[in-house]
Amino acid sequence: MTPRTALPLVLILGACKPDLSQDDWLIASTRVLAVKSEPAEAKPGTPLTFTTLIANPLDASDASTITWQFCTAPKPPTGNNVVSAECLDASSLTDAGTGSSIVAATPVNACSLFGPSTPPGGFRPRDPDETGGYYQPLRIDVPGTVPTFHLERVLCDLADASIDIATEFGKEYVPNANPHFAPITATMGGNPVSLDGIPKSASVELEARWTAADVESYAYYDRSSQTIITKRESMRVAWYVTAGRLDTESTGRDGYDLSTVTSNVWTAPSTPGITKLWLVLRDSRGGVDYTTYDLTVIP
């Protein structure tokens, strides 16, 4: 396969904030906004349920034409992409299923291909992300869109720690669970406003919420001190609409911030009608939740 310097794809990153353009919140065509797995983290070979959130303001996608494939190509150490360019080659893909939701088991060798175990072919083991996680790429092809890659967090053993530390870590670490949205609220000038009665061109503050239990603390192996410490997840919300204007495409809270609320300002369009709103909640370990609302602008 001819080497590539960049991949023509969209990444749905569970553990990172996506690199979004200034107006990425505006939905004007079919787009995969998120992939949610249940459970959010498990050992390789575990069957998981994967579900897509697809924004299409025109026509509903035919679910039978959506295909899923696991990539089995490790990323070269010198590569700049999040996934290997080989993930665009059919020879490096294994079928996982078809439809808007599938049940599939992550490859049993995910921790050697994409984790701390020694991979084949002379590649070096992967470094964990800032939460200690490793990720198996899963490609989703939806008609009318470029290929999308979801990075599924896989539970791997510590490979660079003493036996005592690895044993302790195995006892203390709890796999990630998906967070959950609470209903959003909307205000104008500090006063509540109904989502089905928003005045034209109004500036509306939208608040997204989750529960304190959704922000999990987790065991983390600190390689510099060779000790196990406790970290706390950060939370990010991605915002998307089909009309009007959002102040920003992403808001959230860092791990040290105990607040469970984040807000964004939406300026309603100047014409009456229904605007679709999509929200995607991600924790820093790859957990995902999403929800959809209709915002009705009245005459």
pLDDT, tens digit (0-9, with 9 covering 90-100), for 210-228? 999 999 999 999 999 999 9
Would you say 114 and 137 are in contact if contact means Cβ atoms under 8 Å apart? yes
Taking residue 249's Cβ as centre, other Cβ atoms within 10 Å add up to 19
**8 Å CB contact between 192 and 185:** yes
At CA 169, angle to CA 166 and CA 172, rounded to 5?
A: 155
Read off the pLDDT of residues 182-210 as tens digits, 9 standing for 90 and up.
999 999 999 999 999 999 999 999 999 99
Q: What is the pLDDT of residues 108-156, one digit of tens each?
A: 999 999 988 876 666 677 889 999 999 999 999 998 889 999 999 999 9
Residues 249-253, mean pLDDT to the nearest whole number: 97
Residue 126, pLDDT score: 80
State the DSSP code for 166.
H
Note the Cα 81 to chain centre separation in Å.
17
Range name among 63-67, 92-96, 132-136 with the lowest pLDDT average: 63-67
At residue 96, the pLDDT reads 98
Answer whether residue 106 shows pLDDT above 60.
yes
Q: What is the pTM of this model?
A: 0.90
The amino acid at 6:
A
pLDDT tens readout for residues 148-186:
999 999 999 998 889 999 999 999 999 999 999 999 999
User: Residue 21: what pLDDT?
Assistant: 45
Does the structure show a pLDDT above 90 at 53?
yes
Q: List, for residues 6-52, the tens digit of each pLDDT value.
A: 444 556 654 443 343 457 999 999 999 999 999 999 999 999 999 99
Residues 162, 294: Cα–Cα separation, whole Å? 53
Domains, the chain, with CATH or none: 10-298 (2.60.40.10)
Bridge partner residues of 137 (DSSP): 151
* Alpha-carbon separation of residue 38 from 42, 96, 287 (angstroms): 9, 15, 9
* Tens digits of residue pLDDT in 253-290: 999 999 999 999 999 999 999 999 999 999 999 999 99
Pairing of strands 181-188, 101-105: unpaired
Strand partners, 134: 154
**Would you say 285 and 184 are in contact if contact means Cβ atoms under 8 Å apart?**
no
CB atoms within 10 A of CB 248: 12
Report the first-to-last Cα separation within the chain, whole angstroms.
Answer: 57
Distance of CA 206 to the CA centre of its chain: 21
